[in-house]
Amino acid sequence: MVKYIIPLLLFSILSIFLAIGLNLKPNEIPSPLINTQAPPFNADQLQNPLQKLSPTDLKGQVWLLNVWASWCSSCREEHKVLNHLAQQKMAVIVGLNYKDSNEAANNWLNTLGNPYTTTIVDPEGRIGLDWGVYGVPETFVIDKQGIVRHKLTGPVTDDNVQQLLIPLIKQLQME
Amino acid sequence: MKIKFLLIILLLLFPQLSNAAIESRELANPEQQVIYENLISELRCLVCQNQTIGESNADLASDLRRQVYEMLQQGQSKQDILLYMANRYGDFVLYNPPFKAKTSLLWLGPVLFLVGGLISAFLFIRHKKQNKLLLLEDNPEQTEKLEKIRSLLNTGDRS
């Protein structure tokens, strides 16, 4: 009897590991920035070139940092969702225009609408590197103390907004 | 057909063509140059999976190479740079990850498999041996047969 059970057992264990392997998302790398201070930057603003923006300017409010670029096709999909979220005025949304030209970025915002309270520019991807950005779009949630609390890799969807972002923002507003 | 074949052979003769997109950087200090080459072959390109930033021509890989280069120019050490990368991209970015609670399975896994394998091999062999002994000792029918065989072997079959 044992003779038959052992291979079956081994096969079951193997299947479990294979099933876990199939469901892993190797493209999503957990960010070590979660629960640490937001990496500092002093960035030019797209529509207000004379003024710089740094994370300390946003202390005391819950804000999102959305990394986007006009060359990124899934950003287009995400943009509608962001527009919708911005209408609810729940949190400040800062856009980080990543490795893009100001002209293309302005064009994009003029045609698709502008969900961002302000957009900062990162033409060489240096701020992005400091924030551990490895693909666009990415979205970070930062709390009132300037601590990164969550990171979304890939386009923000309606489900993300309803199930994750809105409850999280509400919770962080209360803190 | 023949031309296609020849073209393939020709392309195989120039494997370095595929590296054309990776720029070469020179550091003033030859020691730092070695560290640079080391680092870019130890850091993982996050968007290409299973390639180092020294092998990949992805945009992100080239940004990471630039960062490594600039940090070396500023006089930062290899450890500083590895820490900088790990603090932003996690241990995943390191092809040579540190031993931690989180990475213990990664490091100890092969040892566990070896020990497991040795134990099961040992048990399997012992089990076999015991079976053989049992076969010889506890089974009168078998002993009888064995003795018959032995006597046949010793005396030969005269029939």
pLDDT digits (tens, 9 = 90+) for A76-123: 999 999 999 999 999 999 999 999 999 999 999 999 999 999 999 999
pLDDT digits (tens, 9 = 90+) for B91-127: 889 998 888 887 888 889 999 999 999 999 999 998 8
What is the arithmetic mean of pLDDT over B39-67?
A: 90
The reported pLDDT for the residue numbered A174 is 92
Residues of B in contact with A31 (CB under 8 A): 90
Percentage above 90 pLDDT, chain B: 41
Q: Decide if pLDDT at B20 tops 60.
A: no
The reported pLDDT for the residue numbered A35 is 94
Shortest alpha-carbon distance between residue A54 and chain B (Å): 18
Q: Which of A58, A107, A64, A54 is nearest to A86 (CA)?
A: A64
Q: Do B60 and A134 touch (CB under 8 A)?
A: yes
- Measured CA to CA, the distance from residue A151 to residue A25 in angstroms comes to 15
Q: Decide if pLDDT at B132 tops 60.
A: yes
Q: What tokens does B157 get?
A: 């079959």
What single string gives the DSSP state of each residue in B90-111?
Answer: -GGGBSS----TTTHHHHHHHH
Percentage above 70 pLDDT, chain B: 87
The answer to whether the beta carbons of residues A22 and A132 sit under 8 Å apart is no
Q: What tokens does A57 get?
A: 């300017």
Give B153's pLDDT tier (boundaries 50, 70, 90). Answer: confident
Q: Do B88 and A32 touch (CB under 8 A)?
A: yes
Q: Decide if pLDDT at A131 tops 80.
A: yes
Residues of B in contact with A132 (CB under 8 A): 88-90
Q: What tokens does B91 get?
A: 């241990």
Residues of B in contact with A26 (CB under 8 A): 49
pLDDT digits (tens, 9 = 90+) for A34-84: 999 999 999 999 998 889 999 999 999 999 999 999 999 999 999 999 999
The reported pLDDT for the residue numbered B157 is 62
The reported pLDDT for the residue numbered B61 is 93
- Measured CA to CA, the distance from residue B11 to residue A152 in angstroms comes to 42
Q: Do A29 and B64 touch (CB under 8 A)?
A: no
The reported pLDDT for the residue numbered A173 is 93
The reported pLDDT for the residue numbered A45 is 95
Residues of A in contact with B56 (CB under 8 A): none
Q: Do B88 and A26 touch (CB under 8 A)?
A: no
Shortest alpha-carbon distance between residue A87 and chain B (Å): 32
Query: Is the CB of B71 inside 8 Å of chain A's CB atoms?
Result: no
Q: Decide if pLDDT at B134 tops 70.
A: no
The reported pLDDT for the residue numbered B149 is 84
**Which residues, including other chains, have CB under 8 Å from residue A58's CB and lie 6 or more apart?**
A92, A94, A142, A146
